[in-house]
Amino acid sequence: MFELMFHHDLLDGAGANLRATTVPLFESLVALVEQASDRSDDSRMQAPAIQTGRHGIAVLSSNRALELVGSRRDIPVLVERAVSAHL
């Protein structure tokens, strides 16, 4: 799913519709990073790094892989750390 956000040509004929949704979502994340970060000039690099970390945690959680090393209640802490690492 992560690829769909940045690689619209994967869905033949649907890329334009997908782009109309994902680009504004990404721009919202960039704007939030600009507000929260001291390094606002780097927000276009920080935003994908944050999205990558959140996506990885979501995938591991949905596959129940995180249960091997922690518990489901640790997920908010993991997300917070993934975001904070790039701000």
How do residues 52-86 score in pLDDT, each as one tens digit? 898 889 888 888 888 887 777 888 999 999 999 88
Q: Which of 37, 72, 79, 75 is nearest to 54 (CA)?
A: 79
What's the structural domain count of the chain?
1
How do residues 3-49 score in pLDDT, each as one tens digit? 655 555 666 665 566 777 778 888 999 999 999 887 767 888 899 89
Amino acid, single-letter form, for residue 66: L
Q: Residue 30 carries which DSSP code?
A: H
Tally of CB atoms within 10 A around 86:
20
Q: Residues of the chain with pLDDT > 90: what percent?
A: 20
Q: Could you tell me the two tokens for 49?
A: 């790094």
Q: What global pTM score does this model have?
A: 0.72
Range of the domain at 68: 2-84
Q: Where are the alpha helices (DSSP H) in 1-87?
A: 2-6, 15-36, 43-62, 75-84
Q: Which of 52, 51, 34 is nearest to 43 (CA)?
A: 34
What pLDDT score was predicted for residue 28? Answer: 92
Return the residue matching tokens 């782009």: 19
